[in-house]
Amino acid sequence: MRRFIASTFLPTLVIALVMALAWLGSACADEAESDDLLVVTTVAPLRSIIEEVGGDRISVIALVPEGTNSHTFDPPPSAVGEIEKADLIIINGLNLELPTLELAEANASDDTPIVLLGNLAVSPDEYVFDFSFPEEGGNPNPHLWTAPHLAVEYAEIVRGELSKVDPDGADYYASNAERLIARLWDLDDAIADVTSTIPEAHRKLITYHDSFPYFAPRYGLEIIGAIQPSDFSEPSPREVADLIEQIRDAGVPAIFGSEVFPSEVLETIAQEAGAVQVSTLSDDDLPGEPGDPENTLVGMMVENVQTMVTVLGGDASALDGFETGSTWQPSE
């Protein structure tokens, strides 16, 4: 009888102990996670800026998968849980992620701030409207982060918002932001150096998706058009013909496509216009994988500028070896 009791009781006891230890481990993990500020954001460049400023005092969730059209991305139902747990929600704004904003406004806790970086970084009289984002549509071009001087503004805003939610970390966030901002100003100087080597007649950009409207004017580049219509469709035959004529007349040596917006008409336009077609530019898909040294906003922009400058006939060697890794330091 004792042998029977032991044979049934011991496995039950073992199972109970395992379950208890699992629960304890989960509870400890949850407690450890609760020490971090949870920040929910959207696209990878914003995630990069937030991580650089927040360092190891925060956890960041980016709701928009890299390589996805952030303008039309509709968050899955699982995003509701992340939003509900968030201590801070930071999105780009300027109508870039309207489905995500609506989801956040409907599900975030009443005391969870929702920050729209673009709306804070520039005033309405600084908005850029263009072929992809016409003024009659009411949506300004939202791609501020591709311009390092505006990425600096984003970093400053993130620092301030993190400090409001977590005042004890204010000094830490300030020191991290200072390092990131110094890196961005160094990048700004380096971009100015390499773009100045492009022959003046070639300092013209025509891209598929207009991601560089705040970037180009700062470095003396003229955006003469974008291929993608404002409804994110393919251009019509009439629009293609007009673009080919425009490229020929302007003497543009290259047109730039996007990794996020593959297009079948790019090669046709390039061949007809006598231009080189390059489709490796990115506005929100960072190099490598999260955790890789190059998986940063700076890493993305270094690759973009090296591509632009080289194809347009300039010398991008000043960007060789530019440090693209993380700038944040562990807290004490």
pLDDT of residue 257: 85
Give the whole-angstrom CA distance, residue 83 versus residue 39. Answer: 9
User: To the nearest whole percent, how much of the chain has pLDDT over 90?
Assistant: 67
- pTM attached to this predicted model: 0.87
Report whether 163 contacts 115 (CB < 8 A): no
Report whether 221 contacts 203 (CB < 8 A): yes
The residue behind tokens 């022959």 is: 199
pLDDT at 318 exceeding the cut of 90: yes
Asked whether the CA dihedral 238, 244, 247, 253 is positive or negative, the reply is positive
Mean pLDDT of 161-174: 98
How many other CB atoms sit within 10 Å of the CB of residue 228? Answer: 21
Domains of the chain by start residue, with CATH = 122-332 (3.40.50.1980)
Give the whole-angstrom CA distance, residue 183 versus residue 164. Answer: 24
Q: What is the pLDDT of residues 38-63, one digit of tens each?
A: 999 999 999 999 999 999 999 999 99
pLDDT of residue 34: 53
* Alpha-carbon distance values, 245 to 78, 232, 273, 277, 306 (Å): 47, 22, 7, 16, 27
Q: What is the pLDDT of residues 3-39, one digit of tens each?
A: 333 444 444 444 444 444 444 444 444 433 457 999 9
Give the whole-angstrom CA distance, residue 284 versus residue 281. Answer: 10
Give the whole-angstrom CA distance, residue 202 versus residue 253. Answer: 7
Residue 277's DSSP bridge partners are 255
Mean pLDDT of 58-74: 90
pLDDT of residue 300: 96
HEC letters along 117-143: HHHHHCCHHHCCCCCCCCHHHCCCCCC
Q: What is the pLDDT of residues 254-273, one digit of tens each?
A: 999 877 777 778 888 988 99
Mean pLDDT of 159-171: 98
**Which of the four pLDDT bands, split at 50, 70 and 90, describes residue 329?**
very high
* Alpha-carbon distance values, 182 to 13, 29, 173, 179, 188 (Å): 59, 35, 14, 5, 10
Residues in CB range of 158: below 8 A, 6 or more apart: 49, 50, 53, 54, 90, 117, 177
pLDDT of residue 224: 87
Residue 204's DSSP bridge partners are 222
pLDDT at 302 exceeding the cut of 50: yes
Mean pLDDT of 248-254: 90
3-state helix vs strand vs coil in the chain, percent to 5: 50, 10, 35
**What's the gap between Cα 105 and its chain centre?**
21
Residues in CB range of 123: below 8 A, 6 or more apart: none
pLDDT of residue 18: 42
Q: What is the pLDDT of residues 176-233, one digit of tens each?
A: 999 999 999 999 999 999 999 999 999 999 988 889 999 999 999 999 888 877 777 7
Mean pLDDT of 109-133: 94
How many other CB atoms sit within 10 Å of the CB of residue 193? Answer: 17
Mean pLDDT of 302-311: 97
